[in-house]
Chain A
């Protein structure tokens, strides 16, 4: 019997779930039929500040640090940033910061702010390392903090959270084309699984089309940080932001193509979290003009 070939029809039918089908159709209602991981809603924290960027989209490091503090405090429920970081990372941990290295890269200011915060929480500088790279990187870490930048991707629909660990596979080309549906399995590798204490998306200046190559027509100052522990939930919220922005630009549906099948598969196949918006609780703080979620 020949292998089933998934086509556009399958995504519209929702064979792999509603999120991918919605992306094909340009429908931004991401309430899927998925009931996996639905018992406890996943929390995603969105913090935005209108003043974090100037008119040239340059980052105000002080404002960013305030945003970061607020993000981790709201995410952990602690009363201050130091306690918040301490609840995520211990003094004996080796912490890998996993940023997007280039092509709409994570802002250096975001990486620096996290480093500074970790240092303030008592993590020695030598224990805070660049966690982006091959399998040796996560193997050297006891804790990972994912720091991807928000962007659409012309090969996978979205190229933010799940794709951020592709180098950990040791075989990134093995996750191209239809195999991008398997990106979630990387998060389940023995030397990766359970180490990610925080997914913190740099959504200061996202890219909603033509990624990863930068096209300034599709970048905009969203001025946000999006955080959570559930990588699929965070990615789903990111996807919603991207799709809503595309709708605003076109004044109507502007489907993501190809559909971001990796998000749905990370939920249904790899059980990494939820891709159902109805099972995600978004907690929003700060400036909310055109929050898009």
Chain B
């Protein structure tokens, strides 16, 4: 901590949270052990360890993001190099690679980086960005298996940029690159005549993330929780006027058919309260329900334990086509799984 204290250049937030976490620091080594130095930058011997019981002390107001992705723990280090900018390394350990991917998918902006030279990168796909590491303005975000890394220089210089990227490279080198979340395979390249916007693709489980992507309700009317997997993407669907209109689509996979039914029933009651006459008393059918609401047509369809939601469709026909295309894609995905 003396090393930390001597750095008056640390951003206040970094300094404050690490002071707070001095008491919580453990001496054990993290499972992903970062290099002791990168170029001129060196780190302290031990990390500041944060777990789900202390995450709000570390980042009040942001902890929900990580908990929503089944956060296990976080190790934080500050690398220092004399008068050069400090570099904060945060190593987030998530329960599964899917969760760590979900964190990266929060924002596809930035410069794609290929860090793991030893393992061939996947080819860019048409529906989901292939990036596993993104850099922008001093911040490198990395998905590496069940690890999610944030490496932040408190000032971007040519040297700090090089060090940040090199640090990321050393951390992921030789590590396997697991596939992206399986559920992403349900997203078709086109739906309703509109192409997917790959940069709109997200994987998530929590209502907080849902609302940060596309606000639906502050209440958890879709019953999202860590046992649910969800993907979203926007499709540029042509409207009657010929203009392309962004239609957000959500595919929610629940643990069981019953949980899916209950979730969609509550969604219907909350989102389409004026259409309760048409609401399924017991949603055993797979009917498509689309309604004209503020901002376009919105609706949903149940398919086994999967719910398909569409918002802001330019019309009934377009909404119907979108859902049918999504459904077809899901069925193809299911068939591939059974093979």
Taking Cβ atoms with an 8 Å cutoff, the residues of A that contact B are 2, 5-9, 11-13, 24-25, 56-57, 101-105, 107-108, 153-155, 159, 172, 176-178, 180-181, 210-217, 219, 255, 257-259, 261
A contact residues around B65 at 8 Å (CB): 154, 213
Within 8 A of A (CB), among B204-248: 208, 211-219, 221
Say which size band chain B's interface belongs to. Answer: 35 or more
When A105-B12, A105-B13, A258-B211 are in contact, do A5 and B295 touch as well, CB less than 8 Å? no
B contact residues around A181 at 8 Å (CB): 218
Of A2, A11, A153, A259, the residue contacting B61 (CB under 8 A) is A153
Q: Is the CB of B217 within 8 A of A259?
A: no
Of A25, A102, A212, the residue contacting B16 (CB under 8 A) is A102
Q: What's the minimum C-beta distance from A20 to chain B, rounded to whole angstroms?
A: 9
A contact residues around B277 at 8 Å (CB): none
**For B16, B62, B110, which residue has the most chain A Cβ atoms within 10 angstroms?**
B62
Q: How many A-B residue pairs have CB under 8 A?
A: 111
A contact residues around B62 at 8 Å (CB): 103, 154, 212-213
Q: What's the minimum C-beta distance from A209 to chain B, rounded to whole angstroms?
A: 8
Chain A at the B interface: mostly helix, strand, loop or mixed? Answer: loop
Within 8 A of A (CB), among B1-44: 11-13, 16-17
Of A104, A105, A172, A216, the residue contacting B137 (CB under 8 A) is A216
Q: Is the CB of A155 within 8 A of B64?
A: yes
Q: Is the CB of B60 within 8 A of A103?
A: yes
Which 9 pairs across A and B sit closest by C-beta, in order of nearness? A178-B218, A216-B137, A12-B294, A5-B270, A102-B16, A102-B13, A105-B12, A7-B217, A258-B211
Of B12, B156, B211, the residue contacting A257 (CB under 8 A) is B211
Of B61, B156, B213, the residue contacting A216 (CB under 8 A) is B156
Q: Is the CB of A214 within 8 A of B218?
A: no
The complex places the Cα of A9 from the Cα of B221 at a distance, in Å, of: 14
Can you name 9 A-B pairs with beta carbons within 8 Å?
Answer: A8-B295, A12-B295, A101-B16, A155-B64, A176-B64, A180-B218, A213-B65, A219-B137, A257-B212
Of B109, B110, B212, the residue contacting A154 (CB under 8 A) is B212
Q: Is the CB of A159 within 8 A of B61?
A: yes
B contact residues around A172 at 8 Å (CB): 60
Judge whether B271 is part of the interface by a CB distance below 8 angstroms. Answer: yes
1/0 contact string of B246-286 vs chain A (CB within 8 Å)? 00000000000000000000000111000000000000000
When A155-B61, A257-B212, A258-B211 are in contact, do A217 and B294 touch as well, CB less than 8 Å? no
Q: Is the CB of A9 within 8 A of B271?
A: yes
The complex places the Cα of A132 from the Cα of B217 at a distance, in Å, of: 31
Q: Is the CB of A5 within 8 A of B16?
A: no
